Amino acid sequence: MTSTTLSSQQFSTFRRQVAVLAVVLILPWTAFPQAPMGAAPGIKLTVKEGEGALNNIRTLRSKEPVVLVTDVADRPVAGAQVTFLLPDLGASGIFPNGSTLTVTTGADGLAVGRGLKPNNVVGQYQIRVVASYRGQTARAAINQTNAAPQKSGGGGGKTALILALLGGAGAAVALGVSRGGGGNSPNPTQPPTTPAGTSITPGGSTFGPPK
């Protein structure tokens, strides 16, 4: 009968093999994060703010887009990379570093396109949004419009200014003339004339024959 004796070197090699086997069997359950039971991989991208916004190109004010990244169980995803992309031509805008902006979601899963300003082209455009997390990708589009509102003012403002300059009784005369009363011209296309013997000066009116 032959007996087998392991040398110290062989015994050390055997121990290392046993240790490696134990690590392989144990690590998958203790060292790697496991997906919650019933949850499938994937992310979702939801637009929270900015859809349908009207941006003023005169004041360079825009509505900053805000999106939410969640998993399939609607829980916020932290650490996702979110990129906002603006059109290169036509109505569009610009971020502080150009036509694209990449941000990382926080614990709340939100990403904000900060610093967006409209360009000087009036019209509609889309902001494309791409979110990436652990090999998963989600996309969305945000529609906005660049507009140039008219400056305030007009005929009403001019009339108010004239009345303020004339003041008192002169204002009353001016108001009567503008309504068609006190004028001497029968032709409505001709400007009304001031009645003879009446003079109007800023700050008041004087009635009487010319001196």
Q: If DSSP states are collapsed to H, E and C, what string results for 62-78? A: CCCCEEEEEECCCCECC
Does the domain at residues 43-147 carry the CATH identifier 2.40.50.1020? no
pLDDT score of 14: 65
pLDDT score of 149: 84
Successive 10-residue mean pLDDT values, the chain, 211 residues: 58 64 48 45 94 95 96 96 97 96 98 97 97 96 93 48 37 39 47 48 45 47
Residues of the chain with CATH 2.60.40.10: 43-147
For the full predicted model, state whether its pTM sits above 0.75.
no
Separation between Cα atoms, residue 64 and residue 49, nearest integer Å = 7
pLDDT score of 130: 98
